[in-house]
Amino acid sequence: AQKVTQAQTEISVVEKEDVTLDCVYETRDTTYYLFWYKQPPSGELVFLIRRNSFDEQNEISGRYSWNFQKSTSSFNFTITASQVVDSAVYFCALSEVNYGGSQGNLIFGKGTKLSVKP
């Protein structure tokens, strides 16, 4: 069975602090996709990143960085120099890889609510 665990329910930081959101996953599949989505108070789901299980290279995009460690089944997300606009619920998700390489349906973690205070 597939499962995603985000142990941190809520995190509160002060602007400009760095913050890391943890994600641990379980799957029996040898190939899979991992994702992070942001859900601001307005409610829409904003795609942040997709990572293929074969690609363990860490990625940086501006203030965002992701650390994928297959050995510990973790896919952590770090925001550097956080800003008030980063306040949102962040979901980690997992999907299988279908025939042809497309993703299957998403299994979401429970989400981490990040509050960044000025």
Q: Which of residues 34-93 bind other proteins (CB under 8 A)?
A: 35, 43-45, 47, 50, 91
Cβ proximity to other proteins, 86 vs 90, nearer residue? 90
Residues 33, 97, 113, CA angle at the centre, nearest 5°?
30
Cβ proximity to other proteins, 71 vs 99, nearer residue? 99
Contact pick of 32, 77, 86, 109 for other proteins (by CB under 8 A): 109
b/e 51-69 (16+ beta carbons within 10 angstroms → b): bebeeeeeeeeeebbbbbe
Tell me the C-alpha distance between 5 and 39, whole Å. Answer: 17
The count of chain residues that interact with other proteins, using the rule CB under 8 A, is 19
| 3-class DSSP state of 117 | strand
Cβ proximity to other proteins, 10 vs 17, nearer residue? 10
Q: Which residues bind other proteins (CB under 8 A)?
A: 35, 43-45, 47, 50, 91, 100-111
